[in-house]
Amino acid sequence: MAVNSELRTFKNAAWLGWQMEANWTDPFLFAIYSVVKPLAGTLILVFMYLVITHGETETMFFSYMYVGNAMYMFVADVLFGVTWVIHDDREHYMTLKQVYIAPIKFETYIFGRAAIKIAITSFGVLLTLLFGVFVLGVDIDLAAVNWPLLVVALILGLATLAIMGLALGGVTFLTAKHAMGINEGVAGIFYVLSGVIFPITILPGWAQSISKFLPVTYWMEGVRRGLEPGVITALGSTTGLQGFSDLQLLLVLVVTAVAFLFISLGIFRYADKVARRKGKIDWTSAY
Amino acid sequence: MEPAVETESLTRVFNPKKKKEGKSVTALDSVDLRIERGELFGLLGPNGAGKTTLLKILSTLLLPTSGKAYVAGFDVAKDFQEVRKRINMVSGGEISGYGLLTVRENLWMFTQFYGMKSAVAFKQIDSMLELFGMADKKNEKVRTLSTGMRQKMNVIRGFVTDPDILFLDEPTLGLDVNASRVIRDYIVEWVEKRPDKTVLLTTHYMAEADQLCDRIAIIDDGKILACDEPDTLKKLVRTSTMLKIDVTLLNNKSVLGNIPGVEKFTYTDDPASNLTSLKFVLQDESAVSDIVSEIVHSGAKILALRKTEPTLEDVFIKMVGKGFE
Amino acid sequence: MTETWLLRNMRAVRGRAYPRIIGSTREPSWVFFDVVLPLLTVSAYAYIYKFMKAPEEFVGFVILGGAMTAFWLNILWSMASQLYWEKEIGNLSLYLMAPISRMSILAGMAVGGLFETTLRATSTLVIGIVVFGIALSLSSPVMLIVVFVVTMISLYGMGMMFASLYLLFGREAYHMSNLMTEPIYLASGFYFPVRTLGFWAAAGSSIIPITLGLDALRQLFYPASVAEYGFLPIGTETLILAVLCVVFIMLSKLSLDYMEKLGKTSGRLTLRWQ
């Protein structure tokens, strides 16, 4: 019974998330939007690279950077998506309180909304990777892909992101409309410190120490090893995580996912309690 | 002087963006209305009758599909800037404003859009907050206000700019008795003290319309079904008045049925409690005094007297064919 | 336009700016987000240029671009899209009913947000310079002010034009703002010299005032890089920006009037949850 209820909440939240993301326009325009947005973000980096290398993209580093940037869309969109749900529902549509007092687990509702974000972003990521491979010569050889590693790393990483999103969602309960700053900030920290577009070895020593505590760092490495093992081998010790075997990498991801589950739930529940005490569940802070 | 509001064959049709979203809706259908200056005019109608659509056109937020509408003599479609200088609007259940501003700040902000000098605005605001019993809330943030307080603040926002014509769209919606009474009393006082000011009020509450309005229009399905003073509208339903009097046991009752103006007379005796209940259907209300005199003359004592008249609800049901949903 | 009209609209600007200014003092958490966090994206791009051993001025380009994103985001999200939220809250109908120019409301939003925006831009610039050890040499302070002012006026004029879309559309316009965030970073060369896009692409992008404004600022701070990385001479860019000021202010007035009329005709002007 309880499981059915959770599944139903999850499913309905995902459905709502899809409506919010997609029903503002007709399917054709939505498709264009879904293509242009991820590509434009990626092309900024591509042009930055082209300026310096004078047009050369078929290099190991370019593939490293490109894949990392494509995968990073999950980080930004999931973290943004979860904090946005709370902000949007509370401040703009003023429906948060109705969902909140319903006999459902609010965390499940959040996960449902995050799930649809992941699904939509997957399309953008896939498109970006295809563009990279066929137009820019990014080195991804399907025959060489380590599918088990890729799939497991992907699932663990996405789960961890959704869980971290929950903690951020809790913090959003307590902050004013600058909620977007929170997701921008946390996503930005990962962007700089997790080896998304450059190896962590380029960072100062103290920053590298922080990088090694961030789950996204291991996730990036795991996904790259799965998707472009040749690139990672070629870059060797540059990535900074060469000392970890595939299994160790996955183990780190599992441990961090579990650790973040407890941390995030703790943060969320604490923030929830404080928000209820201070009457912030249904406040508005727009100006 | 031109009327406060005048419409000529005013029509508004809403077409859906896409076919699957449904058919066209005619929200207003050739509405002809004239509201004189200084009137407190009521607009009664069920949900979806077209009241808010009419208000939106008059407040320059919506253009008519055909026909004309004039506010203070200005065409709402062409001279909307002139119209805006002379109007304001308050809706029921409004959530406008900014939660993190105080009540006073929020009200001041809106006065600035009407070009009021800050000193004048604050004086008006403070005076109205006092009148509405909200002086102690003036420095509270808007998001801490209860529904009733918030709506009072909204009403103050409407009046504080001293508009020539004020549109009130269900201003007491969802409010408790006290809050509603404060608002109603203020509306009446405002119009009485300012003969050049006009209020157009839409409401669901019959008693409110009956109590406040000089004239009422009943609207349904975009059409004005009737427009007149409340008493005249009630006469459309029934010309008779019902009178019920409880007296101590009365012996010679038949004479009461012969009093001029009494259309029908029935009675019930209850010897156990020494009571007689008398019921009259009166054609002429002046018969009441004759009836009372006769009862007193016969030696009985009047214990209770109730007069039942047709209500606006009766008028509405007769006109619209259904009650308010 | 009488003195009364002018006074009324100036008071309207003041009135709408007020919640923004007060909001920033009553909810001070924005200071952390707006000062520290934008540096993260800037740092990532700066580090990638360092990794690729790009010429030193590229890190400076990134920091300048990062600082200017504050203004672009202010236009998109705190002015244009804000009308969408005002519509949802119910304030928009009250603004539209008031006897003031719509541009006054938008100007009020812009003025009110200027403090936060300027702080964000300045902190990104200063901290970026300190952290990455950038050396900037300003060739002409007067020209810097002129370029900055014409860029801002034309940019905010363009923002008012975008805002007019929200009078008719709902979430479509919101998603368009979303769509325009990163493509504009790309098209306007926020993080690389716009000249790299090719002459005609860069020329096309120049319709967005920040493209030429940023390019001119980079030329002023890195005079030695003008020949290799500048798009057009600073004088030409400044002149174009001045023309864009006039064009966008006029277009925004026309656009706001037209969109408002369309919105009133279709009944979508105050329609929520579109």
Contact A285 B100 (CB under 8 A): yes
**Structure token digits, residue B103:** 């009540």
Closest CA to B213 of B234, B232, B199: B199
Quick check: C186 and A47 in contact, CB under 8 A? Answer: yes
Contact C93 B114 (CB under 8 A): no
Q: From the CA of B114, how many Å to the nearest CA of chain A?
A: 20
**What residues does B25 pair with on adjacent strands?**
B14
Residue scoring higher pLDDT (A39 or A184)? A39
Residue from C94, C95, C111 whose CB has the most chain B CBs within 10 Å, to mutate: C94
A233 touches chain B (CB under 8 A): no
SS3 B325: coil
Radius of gyration of chain B (CA): 25
Q: From the CA of C132, how many Å to the nearest CA of chain A?
A: 12
**How many angstroms separate the CA atoms of C232 and C241, rounded?**
12
B63-122 residues touching A, CB cutoff 8 A: 95, 98-101
Contact A52 C58 (CB under 8 A): yes
B108 touches chain C (CB under 8 A): yes
Q: What is the mean pLDDT of residues C258-265?
A: 89
Per-residue exposure over B209-239, b if at least 16 CB sit within 10 Å of its own CB, e if not: bbebbebbbbbbebebbbbeebeebbeebee
pLDDT in the model for residue C263:
86
What are the helix (H) ranges across A136-245?
147-174, 179-193, 205-211, 215-227, 229-235
C71-130 residues touching A, CB cutoff 8 A: 85, 88-89
Contact A65 C48 (CB under 8 A): yes
pLDDT in the model for residue C144:
93
**Nearest-Cα residue of chain B relative to residue C15:** B109
For A192-217, write each residue's pLDDT tens digit. Answer: 999 998 899 988 899 999 998 888 99
Residue from B12, B18, B54, B62 whose CB has the most chain C CBs within 10 Å, to mutate: B62
Which of A13-17, A96-100, C103-107 is the least confident region? A96-100
**Structure token digits, residue B251:** 């012996």
Which residues contact residue A274 at a Cβ distance below 8 angstroms, ignoring those fewer than 6 apart? A173, A174, A280
Q: What is the mean pLDDT of residues A115-127?
A: 89
pLDDT in the model for residue B43:
95
Q: From the CA of A261, how many Å to the nearest CA of chain B?
A: 34
Contact C269 B95 (CB under 8 A): no
Half-sphere exposure at residue C53, Cβ-oriented, CA atoms within 13 angstroms: 2
pLDDT in the model for residue C269:
80
Contact A33 C47 (CB under 8 A): no
Residue from B60, B62, B75, B113 whose CB has the most chain C CBs within 10 Å, to mutate: B113
**How many angstroms separate the CA atoms of B101 and B273, rounded?**
64
**How many angstroms separate the CA atoms of C262 and C274, rounded?**
15
Highest-pLDDT range among B9-18, B300-309, C146-155, C171-180: C146-155
Name the helix (H) or strand (E) containing A60: helix A60-87
- Domains of chain A, residue spans: 2-278
**How many angstroms separate the CA atoms of B205 and A242, rounded?**
76
Top CATH class, B241-309: alpha beta
- Domains of chain B, residue spans: 5-235, 241-309
pLDDT in the model for residue B118:
93
**How many angstroms separate the CA atoms of C164 and C84, rounded?**
10
Q: From the CA of A237, how many Å to the nearest CA of chain C?
A: 15
Residue scoring higher pLDDT (C171 or A145)? A145
Q: Above 90 in pLDDT, residue A116?
A: no
Contacts of B109 in chain C (CB under 8 A): 15-16, 18-19
Q: How many CB pairs under 8 A join A and B?
A: 15
SS3 B198: strand
SS3 B64: coil
Which residues contact residue B102 at a Cβ distance below 8 angstroms, ignoring those fewer than 6 apart? B138, B139, B140, B141, B142
Pairing outcome for strands B241-248 and B275-282: antiparallel
For B246-291, write each residue's pLDDT tens digit. Answer: 999 888 888 898 899 888 888 888 888 889 999 888 887 889 999 9
pLDDT in the model for residue A147:
93
**How many angstroms separate the CA atoms of A139 and A10, rounded?**
37
Share of chain A above pLDDT 90, in %: 26
C15 touches chain A (CB under 8 A): no
Contacts of C37 in chain A (CB under 8 A): 181, 184-185, 188
pLDDT in the model for residue B323:
47
Contact A93 C40 (CB under 8 A): no
Q: Above 70 in pLDDT, residue C36?
A: yes
**How many angstroms separate the CA atoms of C25 and A189, rounded?**
26
pLDDT in the model for residue B106:
93
Q: Above 60 in pLDDT, residue A179?
A: no
Q: Above 50 in pLDDT, residue C227?
A: yes
**Nearest-Cα residue of chain B relative to residue A284:** B99
Pairing outcome for strands B223-228 and B215-220: antiparallel
Contacts of B88 in chain C (CB under 8 A): 97
Quick check: C274 and C169 in contact, CB under 8 A? Answer: yes
Contact C89 B100 (CB under 8 A): no
Given CA atoms C225, C231, C232, C238 in this order, what sign does their dihedral have? negative
Quick check: A199 and A239 in contact, CB under 8 A? Answer: yes
**What residues does B66 pair with on adjacent strands?**
B11
Helix axes A106-135, A246-278, angle to 10 degrees: 140
- Domains of chain C, residue spans: 3-266
Chain C contact partners (≥3 CB pairs within 8 A): A, B
Question: pTM higher than 0.95 for the full model?
Answer: no
Cβ burial of C116 (10 Å; 0-12, 13-18, 19+) is buried
Residue scoring higher pLDDT (C135 or A58)? C135
Given CA atoms A53, A54, A55, A58 in this order, what sign does their dihedral have? negative
Contacts of B173 in chain C (CB under 8 A): none
Regions of chain B with pLDDT less than 70: 17-21, 237-240, 321-325
Q: How many CB pairs under 8 A join B and C?
A: 91
Contact A284 B99 (CB under 8 A): yes
- Domain B5-235: give its CATH code: 3.40.50.300
Residue from B142, B143, B145 whose CB has the most chain A CBs within 10 Å, to mutate: B143
DSSP tally for chain C: helices H, then strands E: 13, 0
Closest CA to A59 of A241, A230, A239, A240: A230
**Structure token digits, residue A187:** 């996503």
Q: What is the mean pLDDT of residues C256-260?
A: 90
A283 touches chain B (CB under 8 A): yes
B101 touches chain C (CB under 8 A): yes
**How many angstroms separate the CA atoms of B185 and B40, rounded?**
13
Q: From the CA of C267, how many Å to the nearest CA of chain B?
A: 6
pLDDT in the model for residue A217:
93
Cα C116-C119-C121 angle, rounded to 5 deg: 110
**How many angstroms separate the CA atoms of A100 and A94, rounded?**
11
**Chain centroid to CA A284: how far?**
27
Cβ burial of B63 (10 Å; 0-12, 13-18, 19+) is buried
Q: From the CA of B128, how many Å to the nearest CA of chain A?
A: 25
- Mean pLDDT for chain C? 88
SS3 B171: coil
Which residues contact residue A251 at a Cβ distance below 8 angstroms, ignoring those fewer than 6 apart? none
Contact C174 A192 (CB under 8 A): no
Quick check: B113 and C12 in contact, CB under 8 A? Answer: yes
Please tell me the total number of residues recorded for chain B in this structure.
Answer: 325
Q: What is the mean pLDDT of residues A29-34?
A: 76
pLDDT in the model for residue B222:
94
